[in-house]
Protein backbone atom coordinates (compact mmCIF):
# COMPACT_ATOMS: atom_id res chain seq x y z
CA UNK A 1 0.00 0.00 0.00
CA UNK A 2 1.40 3.36 -1.04
CA UNK A 3 1.59 5.87 1.75
CA UNK A 4 -0.42 8.99 0.97
CA UNK A 5 0.14 12.28 2.64
CA UNK A 6 -2.79 13.27 4.80
CA UNK A 7 -1.15 16.48 5.93
CA UNK A 8 -2.35 18.35 2.85
CA UNK A 9 -6.05 18.17 3.60
CA UNK A 10 -7.89 20.89 1.70
CA UNK A 11 -9.84 23.35 3.78
CA UNK A 12 -12.82 25.22 2.42
CA UNK A 13 -13.81 28.40 4.16
CA UNK A 14 -17.43 29.34 3.76
CA UNK A 15 -18.84 32.75 4.54
CA UNK A 16 -20.55 33.08 7.90
CA UNK A 17 -24.31 33.41 7.88
CA UNK A 18 -26.80 32.90 5.09
CA UNK A 19 -25.68 33.55 1.55
CA UNK A 20 -26.66 37.01 0.29
CA UNK A 21 -26.86 35.74 -3.29
CA UNK A 22 -30.09 35.41 -5.22
CA UNK A 23 -29.82 33.91 -8.66
CA UNK A 24 -31.96 34.51 -11.67
CA UNK A 25 -32.28 30.79 -12.31
CA UNK A 26 -32.45 29.84 -15.95
CA UNK A 27 -32.22 26.35 -17.43
CA UNK A 28 -28.53 26.58 -18.33
CA UNK A 29 -27.52 27.90 -14.90
CA UNK A 30 -29.52 25.17 -13.18
CA UNK A 31 -27.99 22.40 -15.30
CA UNK A 32 -24.42 23.72 -15.07
CA UNK A 33 -24.32 24.16 -11.31
CA UNK A 34 -26.53 21.27 -10.20
CA UNK A 35 -24.76 18.72 -12.40
CA UNK A 36 -21.36 19.94 -11.17
CA UNK A 37 -22.57 19.76 -7.58
CA UNK A 38 -24.32 16.38 -7.66
CA UNK A 39 -22.91 14.49 -10.65
CA UNK A 40 -24.73 12.03 -12.84
CA UNK A 41 -27.95 11.78 -10.82
CA UNK A 42 -28.16 15.51 -10.22
CA UNK A 43 -31.90 15.88 -10.89
CA UNK A 44 -32.83 13.44 -8.13
CA UNK A 45 -30.31 14.91 -5.70
CA UNK A 46 -31.40 18.48 -6.48
CA UNK A 47 -35.06 17.56 -5.96
CA UNK A 48 -34.17 16.07 -2.57
CA UNK A 49 -32.17 19.14 -1.54
CA UNK A 50 -34.85 21.59 -2.68
CA UNK A 51 -37.46 19.62 -0.74
CA UNK A 52 -35.34 19.57 2.42
CA UNK A 53 -34.17 23.18 2.26
CA UNK A 54 -37.10 24.84 0.53
CA UNK A 55 -39.78 23.11 2.57
CA UNK A 56 -41.75 22.32 -0.60
CA UNK A 57 -42.01 18.92 -2.17
CA UNK A 58 -39.98 18.76 -5.37
CA UNK A 59 -39.68 15.57 -7.39
CA UNK A 60 -37.19 14.50 -10.04
CA UNK A 61 -39.93 14.65 -12.74
CA UNK A 62 -40.54 18.29 -11.80
CA UNK A 63 -36.85 19.08 -12.21
CA UNK A 64 -36.90 17.23 -15.55
CA UNK A 65 -39.79 19.44 -16.67
CA UNK A 66 -37.77 22.55 -15.81
CA UNK A 67 -34.81 21.20 -17.77
CA UNK A 68 -37.00 20.32 -20.77
CA UNK A 69 -38.58 23.81 -20.63
CA UNK A 70 -42.02 22.25 -20.16
CA UNK A 71 -42.49 24.28 -16.99
CA UNK A 72 -40.71 27.40 -15.76
CA UNK A 73 -38.25 27.17 -12.89
CA UNK A 74 -39.99 28.71 -9.86
CA UNK A 75 -38.47 31.96 -8.60
CA UNK A 76 -37.96 30.52 -5.13
CA UNK A 77 -35.41 28.05 -6.54
CA UNK A 78 -33.07 30.92 -7.40
CA UNK A 79 -33.55 32.33 -3.91
CA UNK A 80 -32.45 29.17 -2.12
CA UNK A 81 -29.99 27.72 -4.63
CA UNK A 82 -26.97 29.50 -3.09
CA UNK A 83 -27.90 27.92 0.24
CA UNK A 84 -28.20 24.52 -1.46
CA UNK A 85 -24.64 24.90 -2.75
CA UNK A 86 -23.35 26.12 0.61
CA UNK A 87 -24.88 23.22 2.54
CA UNK A 88 -23.67 20.67 0.02
CA UNK A 89 -20.15 22.15 0.21
CA UNK A 90 -20.23 21.77 3.99
CA UNK A 91 -21.39 18.15 3.66
CA UNK A 92 -18.65 17.41 1.11
CA UNK A 93 -16.05 18.95 3.40
CA UNK A 94 -17.23 16.78 6.30
CA UNK A 95 -17.12 13.64 4.12
CA UNK A 96 -13.58 14.58 3.04
CA UNK A 97 -12.51 14.95 6.69
CA UNK A 98 -13.98 11.55 7.46
CA UNK A 99 -12.19 10.00 4.47
CA UNK A 100 -8.85 11.44 5.63
CA UNK A 101 -9.44 10.06 9.14
CA UNK A 102 -10.08 6.62 7.71
CA UNK A 103 -6.94 6.88 5.58
CA UNK A 104 -4.90 7.75 8.67
CA UNK A 105 -6.38 4.74 10.48
CA UNK A 106 -5.47 2.42 7.61
CA UNK A 107 -1.94 3.78 7.48
CA UNK A 108 -1.54 3.36 11.25
CA UNK A 109 -2.80 -0.21 11.05
CA UNK A 110 -0.43 -0.99 8.17
CA UNK A 111 2.54 0.48 10.06
CA UNK A 112 1.65 -1.60 13.14
CA UNK A 113 1.36 -4.70 10.99
CA UNK A 114 4.76 -4.05 9.41
CA UNK A 115 6.38 -3.63 12.85
CA UNK A 116 5.06 -7.02 13.87
CA UNK A 117 3.73 -8.10 17.25
CA UNK A 118 4.83 -6.03 20.20
CA UNK A 119 6.50 -7.80 23.07
Distance CA 50, CA 46 (A): 6
Domain assignment present for 38: yes
* Residues 84/50, Cβ–Cβ less than 8 Å: yes
The answer to which of 3-7, 26-30, 101-105 has the lowest mean pLDDT is: 3-7
Rounded to 5 degrees, φ, ψ at 117 are -65, 140
Distance CA 68, CA 81 (A): 19
Domain assignment present for 116: no
Domain assignment present for 81: yes
Distance CA 31, CA 88 (A): 16
Domain assignment present for 46: yes
- The predicted-structure confidence for 8-58, as pLDDT tens digits, reads as follows 444 444 445 555 555 678 999 999 999 999 999 999 999 999 999 998 999
| Domain boundaries, position 89 | 27-106
Domain assignment present for 4: no
Domain assignment present for 39: yes
Domain assignment present for 115: no
Q: Which residues contact 10 (CB under 8 A, 6 or more apart)?
A: 96
Residue whose C-alpha is closest to residue 21's, from 93, 85, 88, 90:
85
What pTM, to 2 d.p., does this model score?
0.68
Number of structural domains, the chain? Answer: 1
- The predicted-structure confidence for 66-76, as pLDDT tens digits, reads as follows 999 999 999 99
* Residues 34/46, Cβ–Cβ less than 8 Å: yes
Domain assignment present for 114: no
Amino acid sequence: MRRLSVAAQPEIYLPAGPSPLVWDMDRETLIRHASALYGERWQTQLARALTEIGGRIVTQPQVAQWVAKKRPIPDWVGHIFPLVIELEAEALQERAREAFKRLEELQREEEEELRGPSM
